Amino acid sequence: MLTLSLVSRFKRHTRDIPDRKVSTRSMASKTPVGFIGLGNMGNPMAKNLLKNGYPIIATDVFPESCKEVQELGAQIVDNPADVADKVDRIITMLPSSPNVVDVYTGPNGILKKVKKGSLLIDSSTIDPSVSKDMAGAAEKMGAVFMDAPVSGGVGAASSAKLTFMVGGAEEEFTAAKELLSCMGANVVYCGQVGTGQAAKICNNMLLAIGMIGTSETMNLGIRLGLDPKLLAKILNMSSGRCWSSDTYNPVPGVMEGVPSGNNYQGGFGTQLMAKDLGLAQNTATNTKSPVPLGSLAHQIYRMMCARGYANKDFSSVFQFLREEDSQ
Ligand code: NAD
């Protein structure tokens, strides 16, 4: 009996209390939350946690990024390990897979000082295999890692309207949702760790293909003498309609309040789209899935980066195609 109870205590201590349905962390509301990566997305997301009454302990390699949340009351520390030392829930919002590996497993990474039972939520868009690796490394330290990438850009991050696609242990979803609902309108459980990334990568591959298709269609129609607004109207009442044609049209002057009306400033950068399409390629190769249009979309967005479009919104593929075909 004594041996059994020791084993069960050891399991609880090292494996994050596996036999409960709802994490006790979900009850520990308004205790400080760590936030790492205060860029275009992380900054407004952290602000929404602050607005909801969560004290924030944050860090970013670029000190200037920390200023706004610091002025709103967040405590700024030197590195991810120092964040992990002070909290038991951390959200990371970083550019790409190598940054995530560094922030979790690097010399000053989260896992150097993580508390047992901590909940680590990564909202960056990265390779699902890296999410799985981070989950394994976190588990060895007695912590729980979940992937929760987002759909929706800076505007949705500011207005707390993001969609979160969450992968990881289902019994931890309630605890994750408590924080994610402060930053998003939809929090969707996708399955085991890495499936949030899978959903995000699939969505963005379709988005890129749809945006390129809309752009070349609009360009052809304009060259055939159609008024772009009229063409968009017809597409949007016909079977060619899609998000890129009716909500985010890439042709300047067709819609208000979208990047195409503002010289493709703001929105979702071409470089980030190229990165997501690269992730789609890797995962397609690993799963032997044919993605001919996804491959072509990846090449087009990579070419755009090489031709000076890297920091423009991804809908600038319309402008890129116009420049291409006029040569
Ligand atoms: P960003 O480059 O603006 O911000 C990332 C931040 O992480 C930067 O402030 C950077 O200094 C910081 N950082 C990098 N390495 C770090 C480290 N080792 N330690 C601490 N901080 C570090 O990127 P973003 O636009 O905020 O995007 C973040 C993620 O969200 C990306 O994976 C992106 O694909 C995804 N995403 C972005 C959008 C968008 O519209 N921008 C939309 C959906 C998803």
Domain end point (choices 192, 208, 224): 192
pLDDT at 325 (0 to 100): 61
Domain end point (choices 173, 192, 211): 192
Q: Are residues 137 and 256 in the same domain?
A: no
Atom of ligand 1 nearest to the CA of 126: 32
Q: Are residues 87 and 122 in the same domain?
A: yes
Q: Are residues 179 and 216 in the same domain?
A: no
pLDDT at 326 (0 to 100): 60
Mean pLDDT (the chain) is: 91
pLDDT at 275 (0 to 100): 96
Of 30, 112, 140, 200, which residue is the catalytic one? 200
Cα(288) to centroid(ligand 1), Å: 29
pLDDT over 90 for what percent of the chain?
87
CATH code at position 81: 3.40.50.720
Nearest residue (by CA) to ligand 1, atom 20, is 60
Q: What is the pLDDT of residues 109-157, one digit of tens each?
A: 999 999 999 999 999 999 999 999 999 999 999 999 999 999 988 889 9
Rounded to an integer, what is the distance from CA 25 to the centroid of its chain?
23
Q: Are residues 23 and 121 in the same domain?
A: yes
Cα(226) to centroid(ligand 1), Å: 40
Residues in the ligand 1 pocket, defined by CB under 6 Å: 36-42, 59-62, 65, 93-96, 99, 102-103, 124-125, 150, 153-154, 268, 272
Q: Are residues 26 and 117 in the same domain?
A: yes
Q: Are residues 168 and 207 in the same domain?
A: no
Catalytic residue status for 47: no
Q: How confident is the model at residue 327 (pLDDT cuts 50, 70, 90)?
A: low
Domain end point (choices 151, 171, 192): 192
pLDDT at 324 (0 to 100): 76
- If you ran DSSP here, which 8-state letter would residue 138 be given? H
Q: Are residues 188 and 204 in the same domain?
A: no
Assigned token pair, 17:
């209390």
Q: Are residues 156 and 203 in the same domain?
A: no
Assigned token pair, 101:
């590996």
Cα(293) to centroid(ligand 1), Å: 27
Cα–Cα distance for residue pair 125/283, rounded to 1 Å = 13
- Our CA angle for 93, 97, 101, nearest 5°, is 85
- Which residue's structure tokens are 């084993």? 7
* Segments forming the whole domain that contains residue 155: 2-192
* Cα 318 to Cα 4, 72, 199, 327, distances in angstroms: 66, 39, 26, 15
Q: Are residues 187 and 206 in the same domain?
A: no
Q: Are residues 100 and 119 in the same domain?
A: yes
pLDDT at 242 (0 to 100): 98
Q: What is the pLDDT of residues 270-297, one digit of tens each?
A: 999 999 999 999 999 999 999 999 999 9
Domain count of the chain?
2
| Helix boundaries (H) for 15-149 | 42-51, 67-71, 80-86, 97-105, 110-113, 128-140
Q: What is the pLDDT of residues 186-242, one digit of tens each?
A: 999 999 999 999 999 999 999 999 999 999 999 999 999 999 999 999 999 999 999
Q: Are residues 131 and 271 in the same domain?
A: no
Q: How confident is the model at residue 81 (pLDDT cuts 50, 70, 90)?
A: very high
Counting ligand 1 atoms within 8 A of each CB, the residue from 43, 64, 66, 93 with the most, and so the one to mutate, is 93
Task: Choose between 16 and 270: higher pLDDT.
Answer: 270
Q: Are residues 151 and 39 in the same domain?
A: yes
CATH code at position 250: 1.10.1040.10
Residue 28 has pLDDT above 70, yes or no: no
